Structure formats: C-alpha cells, structure tokens
Structure 1
Amino acid sequence: MKKITKAVWILSFISLFTDVSSEMLYPIMPLYLKSIGFSVVLIGVLEGFAEAIAGLSKGYFGKLSDQNGKRVPYVQFGYLLSAVSKPIMGFFTFPLWIFLSRTMDRLGKGIRTGARDALLSDEATPETKGTVFGFHRSMDTLGAVIGPTFALVFLYFYPENYSVLFFIAAIPGLSAFLISGLLKENKKAKLATQEKSNFLSYFIYWKNAPISYKKLVIGLLFFGLVNSSDLFLLLMAKSKGLEDSQVIGIYIFYNLIYALFSLPAGVLADKIGLKPTLIFGLFVFAFVYGGMAFAENKIHFYSLFFLYGIYAASTEGISKALITNITPTTDSASAIGTFAGLNSIAALIASNLGGLIWFYSGPKSMFFISAVVSVAVSFYFIRLSLKKLKEFEGAYSPSNSSKIGQSGL
C-alpha cells in the first residue's frame, strides 16, 4: 500500500510487539496480584495510580516533544521503560516494587504516545489520515489477540505459573524497543515554541488551541465520561453465567474484530469523512451498551462484542486522525497528548461512576445511561459545523498550518 510508508510499518510493528507483551499479562494481572497478597482494594489503588500517571504525563511529554522538534527519542525511551518494567514485576513481589514497575510501564506509555502519533501524522496527508491511523490501530490491536491467546495456552499447560509469564512478556517488549532503532527523525519536524513544559501543559495548550480542536475534544471528553472500563462488559458476561475461559475468549474475539476492521474503517473514513465515521461508531457504541442491558446468553454477548469491535475500529484511530487534521503540524504531539491525558482522567471518572451506578442502581441503569449520553454526543457532533470542519481538513497542509492554527475554524 503506497499510503503506508516505511515509518508507519515500523511504528505499527513496534506497537504490535508491545501490545503482545502488555496484553499477555492483562487477563492474568489480577490473578497474579492476588497470588502475591494484594487485596482487591490495593489492586484498584495500583491500577488507578498507574493510569493517572500515564494520563497526566501524556500532555507534558507531548508538549516537550513539540518544543524540542523531536519525536524518536520519546518513542524509543517510552517503549524501553515499558519493556524493562515487565520482568521487574515478575521478579520482585514486594508491594513497593510492584507499584514502581507498574508505574514505569504506564509512564512509558505517557512518554511515547504523543510523539508516536505525531510521527504517524507526519507520514500522512489529510486525505490519508484515516488509512494510516487505522492501519496502525489494526496492527496494535492484533497484539491484543496474540498476547492473551498465548497466555491462555501457557497457563493451560503451566497453571498458576504467573511469574514466568512476566519474563516471557519482556521478550516482545524488548523486541519492540530494538525495532524502534530503525526509526529516523522526520526532517519536517520544527521547533514549535520556547515555552517551558510542565504538568500543566494541558491548560497551556488548551488556552492557545484552535476553536475546532476545543469543540471536538469537549465532545470526546463528554463521551469519555460514560465510556467506562471494558471490565464492566466482561463482568456483565460473567454475571450471566459465562465461564472464565469464555469471558476471556470473548475479550480475544472483540480484539480480533477490532484489529480486522480498523484498516477498512480508516480507508472508509478517508472516502466518506472522518467525522461521519466517528459518529457512526458512537451510535454503534450506544446500541451495544443498550443491548448489554438485555443480553442473556453467549450468542447475545458474542454479537454485541462483535459490534463493540466495530465501534472501537470506527473511533479510536479516527479521533486521533481528526485531531491532527485540525491542529498545526508543530502542535501534533501536544494536541494528541493533551487529549489523551484528559481522556485518561475522563476514563478514570467514568469507571468510578460506572461502578457506583452499578452498585446502587444495577448494571442495566449503568448501561442505559451510557447509551443515552453517547447518543446525545453523536447529535452534538452532527451539529458541529460539518461544512467548516470539512473545509478545514481539506485546506490543511504543513505549509499553511500556522495560518489554519489561527483561523478559529
């Protein structure tokens, strides 16, 4: 594919290997932590703290990348941190070391996210953003199929041998870091600003960001407040009588659909528009969450998780492509990092709210509220100056990015 450059292939394989490493541990992480003495409360504190670190650091390191006019060092160091954190968690079982290694893993994600997505954006034109981000998302999510599948097979032959998996997971993680050595700095990257970067970079960037960026992100953040952890979907399946292996199987199935449809969704978005594709994905999300309230058997859940994969393919990479199309090239990492950081905080709030609603009103109420709000957000995007947004996307290019950044469209 001519639209997929060498750099996009390299970044996609890096993400594939990293996701194999991370997702290999995802289904067994709670089991492992319990086996070394962690309570459910402590597991919650650990995950909340780690995700908060990842979220808060994305805006900061994205801004830093834009200031330095460099992407590759942040990508490489971010992937290295995540890779070396895996064996530390398997070797040291003291709570302090577990917190340290888990924080290292998430910090690595925070360091690399903005710079990596900015590199992807630099490798595309406004007319190919959907394809490029969709292809990368497809490869990334393929790792979420391979990783858990390997973990299931391994634990079938070596039950409860969790610590060994952490050492095995380091192999694809380190492979990703080694592959990152093939990356070269994009010569088009320029120094954007001499402002100091700090952990308040969200507010600094938000103040000067284009109006269209603010409108887009506000809508995405409102949606983020009801887009709670996928854990709730899996818990719903479990509560209806599915066995643990079936629940993990559904999770793998969802990721497979997500991986298979990410590239076609990106190609379609380049043809019909990024925004219509995003809106379609939000309506699918509403249907899935509404359907979850009535799902009763394995067929229902597999059908809904199939659609959930379609939703993810139509929104995750597409939203990033939209962001990079309505912000100057020199601000790409800041724009994506700020959104990713704020969205991480929204996701944390969403999961807490989802848990409270589930506890006090039941799962049906939680799923219905999420469905209704996502429909409302969809209509918000439908009314969001569609004509101006298309003009903005079509007019965007690195040569006139500074003008567009000030246009207020």
Structure 2
Amino acid sequence: MDEKEKRVFGISWNVFLLGIVSFLNDMSSEMIAPIVPAYLTEVLKVGKLAGGSIMGLIESASSLFKVLFGYFSDRFRKRKAFVFTGYALSTLSKGLLAFSRGPLDFLALRLLDRTGKGIRTAPRDALIAESSNGKTGKSFGFHRMMDTLGAVAGPLVVVLLIGLLSYLPRETLYRRIFLLSAVPGLLSLLIIALFVRDRGGEVKKKIAGVSSLKSRSLQLFLAVVAVGTLGRYSYAFTLWKAEELGYTVLQGSAFYALFNLIYALSAYPIGVYSDRVSKKALIGVGFLLSALASLCFAFARDLTVLLLAFVFYGLHMAVIDTVPRAYMAELAGEGEKGTVIGAYHTVVGVFAFPASLIAGYLWSAYSLTYSFLLASAMAFLAFVLLQFD
C-alpha cells in the first residue's frame, strides 16, 4: 500500500508512528518529572527561588532553538533527521542524570534534554501537519493524546518503582529511576529510524522567505501568546503546592498522573472539534481554563479543591498544547510550516522563563498563593486581548 494511503484509526501512518514515538518519549520524561522537584530540594539542596529559576530556564531553553531548526527543516525538507537527533539528545541526557552530583551537572543535562526538544519539535510538528491531509486539529489532537498517555504511564511507572525499590536510600532511588527512564526513549529512536518517513519532498514550493510571519494577524496572535505564557508555570509548582499541603512525593506522583490522564482523554476530542469550529475561539477557552486552574491552586486548602485544580490544569493544557499548533500550521504558507510553528514555540519558551522566575520569586518572598494569582491574572488578560486580535 502506498505510504500516503495508510491509515490507522483514521490517522495517517506517519502521524500514528509519531504518536507512538511521543508516547514512549513522554513516558521516559514523566518517569523523572514527579521526582525532579524533590531531587532538587532534597538531594541537591537547591532553594525555592533557584528551584523555580532552574525549572523555568529548563522549560525555556528548548524553545530558543525551535524557530531556527524549524527554518532549517523547511530549507532542507529533511525533517526526520532533526526529529531523530532531538529525541536522541533527550534520551541520552535523561539517562546521564543518574550520575549528576550538583546543580550545575543537573542544569547542564536538563538543558541538553531541552535542546533536543528544541531541535525536534518544530520539524516534527511540521511533519505532522504535512501528513494530515487538511485535518490538522485531529492529527495534533491524536499526537497530544498519545504524548500525554505517555505522561500518564510515566508517573504510574514511578509509583511502581518507588514501591519496588523503597528499600533503597532516597538519593539512590532517584538515580536508579533516572537511569531506567532512558529505556523507552531508546525504543522511540528505533521507530523513528526504521519506520517514520519524510514528507517534505512532496512540497514543491520554493521558499523565498518567511512571508507568513509578516502577517499582522499572526503577529498579534503571537503577542497574545506571549502574554498568556506569562500565566504559565512549570509543572513543578503544582507538585510543590501538593507538598505544601502535606502530600508525599508518591501522592504527588498520583496527582500528576491525574492531570495527565485528563489531558490525554481531552486532547483528541478537542483537536477533532477544533477542525469544526473557530480555533481562535477555542484557544480563548484554553486561557480561561488556565485562569480557573491557577485560582484553584492558589486557594486550595483541601483535597477537593486541589483535585479540581489538577483537572482544570489538564483541560487547559489539552487546549493550549493542541489547538495553537494546528492554528499556526493553517496560518503558515505551504513551504514554511516549520518556521512558523517554530516561531510560536519560541515565543512560548522565551516568556516561560520569566514566568517561572517571577513565580519562584513570589513563592520565596511571599507564598505560592501569589504565584498562582499572578498566573491567573495573566491568563485572563490574554483571553481579553485575544478578543481584539
């Protein structure tokens, strides 16, 4: 059967395979995500402000490369090479965390991981868009669903490992989990190398520039995204909130699994729905959900409100991590999807760092409540500004 005719559950073969790759890679990433905040503060003895700054810097670093490598993938029409290289760097860095001895080691390896993400994300998203046959929302929804199912599996694996390896000293336990996290990443590399195919060669248009980025509508949307990103924060802050309320690392992992389960179950139907309605309006709903989630985190004092916060946080991420990618792919010219999608990711990354830095400062100087209140205000402001875009 011809490559372009293959379908799995109504999804193109390439999109399906890239979904499996993201499932495995995110399982790898989320095996370490629940223990990273505790590892920073308990083992490496990093303070609150430094912890928030490090997590924000890590989240931002990847995005600084996305527009660059998105552009390169547009120019060379060889997206698979960038996707493979990015995933390989991330897999290597996660395994090597087992041997980190100080904050600088940790930061260097996490930056390597995020650099890998920066290299692969825009080329991969462009490859998904080129393999979608016009159903970008459905394809990105499926991809985010698979990615997030991996994020559900990862913390559950951690819960299992913590139970099985509970006899180990805490530091040794963390390092053992870091090492095991590389295994699913290695499997994802095999899938990319053997089965994923480039589609960029099918686009005949010669790239003369980045004309889509000159669109006023696109520029205004990116400005709104920048404001909305100031209302985002590293997942670590949600786990620190659970810790502040007296929950253990193991219980925090369960909360994080709940968040990812909500995200996973919502992403695909939201993506499908976005192909039928205004993607821009749906993004506005995402900002409102973000504001609501942050308010719940700010005022959570018991289990019920905390659970609601994680549910709204999952719904918000299902919208914001799915629909804008599809929206940007539709706004982009046929020969510059990598560049335009990369520009979106870069804006998110550039503003994610000051967002986490400010959140870390407010936590250190006052309390986590103020961090979440600021995030809620910025998300609501982004919703209002989107109405004038």
Q: Please give the range of the TM-score, normalised by the shorter of the 2 chains.
A: 0.7 to 0.9
- What does the per-residue CA deviation read over 1:116-159, in whole Å, with 9 as the maximum and x for residues that have no partner? 00011112244x21111011000001111111111121112213
Distance 1:44 1:379 in 2: 28
CA gap of 1:44–1:305, structure 2 versus 1, over 3 A, is closer
| Aligned residue number for residue 394 of structure 1 | none
User: How many residue pairs align between the two structures?
Assistant: 374
Greater Cα shift, 212-221 or 161-170: 161-170
CA contact (8 A) 2:329 2:337 kept: yes
Answering whether residue 91 of structure 2 is matched by residue 78 of structure 1, we say no
Answering whether residue 198 of structure 2 is matched by residue 185 of structure 1, we say yes
Read off the aligned partner of 1:102 and give its amino acid letter. R
Q: How does 1:112-261 map to 2 (within 5 A)?
A: 112-126=120-134, 128-159=135-166, 160=170, 161-181=173-193, 182-186=195-199, 187-190=201-204, 192-193=206-207, 208-261=213-266
C-alpha RMSD of matched pairs (Å): 2.5
CA gap of 1:29–1:283, structure 2 versus 1, over 3 A, is closer
Distance 1:288 1:43 in 2: 22
The counterpart of 2:11, out of the listed 4, 20, 24, is 4
The offset of 1:369, in angstroms, is 3.2
TM-score for both structures, normalised by structure 2: 0.88
> What stretches of structure 1 of length at least 5 have no aligned partner?
196-204, 385-409
Read off the aligned partner of 1:138 and give its amino acid letter. M
The counterpart of 1:61, out of the listed 54, 65, 69, is 69
Question: Per the alignment, in what secondary structure is the counterpart of residue 276 of structure 2?
Answer: helix
- What does the per-residue CA deviation read over 1:197-238, in whole Å, with 9 as the maximum and x for residues that have no partner? xxxxxxxx5995322211111111110012122333333333
CA contact (8 A) 2:82 2:119 kept: yes
- What does the per-residue CA deviation read over 1:46-81, in whole Å, with 9 as the maximum and x for residues that have no partner? 545544432221121111111112211100111111
Question: Per the alignment, in what secondary structure is the counterpart of residue 321 of structure 2?
Answer: helix
The offset of 1:295, in angstroms, is 2.2
The offset of 1:100, in angstroms, is 4.2
CA gap of 1:296–1:45, structure 2 versus 1, over 3 A, is closer
CA contact (8 A) 1:285 1:311 kept: yes
CA gap of 1:78–1:149, structure 2 versus 1, over 3 A, is same
| Aligned residue number for residue 199 of structure 1 | none
CA gap of 1:44–1:376, structure 2 versus 1, over 3 A, is closer
- What does the per-residue CA deviation read over 1:224-254, in whole Å, with 9 as the maximum and x for residues that have no partner? 0121223333333332333333222111100
| Aligned residue number for residue 372 of structure 1 | 377
CA gap of 1:101–1:289, structure 2 versus 1, over 3 A, is closer
CA contact (8 A) 1:114 1:337 kept: yes
Greater Cα shift, 260-269 or 163-172: 163-172
Read off the aligned partner of 1:372 and give its amino acid letter. A
| Aligned residue number for residue 201 of structure 1 | none
